[in-house]
Amino acid sequence: MNIAIPVQEDTPASLAEISGNIGTLSTRLAVTGNEIREAQRVRYKVFCEEMSARKNPARFLTRREKDAHDKVCDHLLVIDKPVGSVSRIVGTQRFFVKSALEKKPPFYSQPEFDLEALAEKFPQQRFMELGRSCILPAYREKRTMELMWHGTWAYALKQKADVMVGCASFQANNFEKIGPGLGFLGEHALCQPEWDTPALGRNAVPLRQFTMGEVTQKRALASLPPLIKGYLRLGAKFASHAVPDPDFGTIDILVVLPVSAINPRYVNYYGADASRHRGLANPD
């Protein structure tokens, strides 16, 4: 059952800035603790109930997928509000921005990939870590994804981010099942050596170890998860290793996307100032 999470209606209007809207959907940052908790419930529905994340006691009892980084991240919301109806969160993603010169907690993905070392190689650049991207099944369509990317781009501009990074996942618990997809990435989409990032997670495997075998390049590309294909279209590259994440039942790879390398087609589409979908949400 696809049950969306209602949005609290006491959000201060001056803080709930709309980054963009398409029809009844809008996107903005969460500005209250209640909204963050509701985003965590969406994550629980997707990662724990639909997918394979472990339902540890904290998750099971609260029906929220949460961790310590939630307190230091900003949370993007995609909200559906049909005319005359209650607003509901239908998608979310979180952002963490830092440079090597800033005294902040480590990147969330640090246990798997040494992002701290990568940031130290480029101390003047601001790194924007993306994570916990999810959309409820009934809303997995072009409009929702477009707003998610629009909100991401608007946030990157506002934060003056230089590099986007973050884990992207295959919903798999063994490498054999996703070998052709990993082989495609290892052959066509590895980042330059200066952007490569050492894998710290246990049982990390080099992408170049895999091949597409008898699968055609077109079929190998088609086998990739939609989010990874979206990153490829944007111009992203990937670090050289894949790492199993038993807590989420996934195999993770690291996305590396300098803002300067974003495909100009998408910058032009969303606007150099992220203005394409900017506006007020539909009134009641």
pLDDT at 52: 87
pLDDT at 13: 37
Q: What angle do CA 247, 248, 249 make, to 5 degrees?
A: 100
pLDDT at 84: 80
Q: In whole angstroms, what is the distance from residue 52 CA to residue 270 CA?
A: 33
Strand-pair partners of 128? 97, 164
Architecture of domain 5-270: 3-Layer(aba) Sandwich (3.40)
Burial of 188 (0-12, 13-18, 19+ CB in 10 A): middle
- Digit-by-digit pLDDT tens for the chain (284 residues) are 334 444 444 443 334 466 889 999 999 999 999 999 999 999 999 999 999 888 888 788 899 999 999 999 999 999 999 888 889 999 999 999 999 999 899 999 999 999 999 999 999 999 999 999 999 999 999 999 999 999 999 999 999 999 999 999 999 989 999 999 999 999 999 999 999 999 998 899 999 999 998 899 999 999 999 999 999 999 999 999 999 999 999 999 999 999 999 999 999 999 999 999 886 444 43
The pTM assigned to this predicted structure is 0.90
Where exactly are the structural domains of the chain? Answer: 5-270
pLDDT at 281: 46
- Token look-up 């969460």 returns 30
pLDDT at 17: 64
Q: What 8-state DSSP symbol labels residue 243? A: E
Q: In whole angstroms, what is the distance from residue 158 CA to residue 17 CA?
A: 13
149 three-state secondary structure: helix
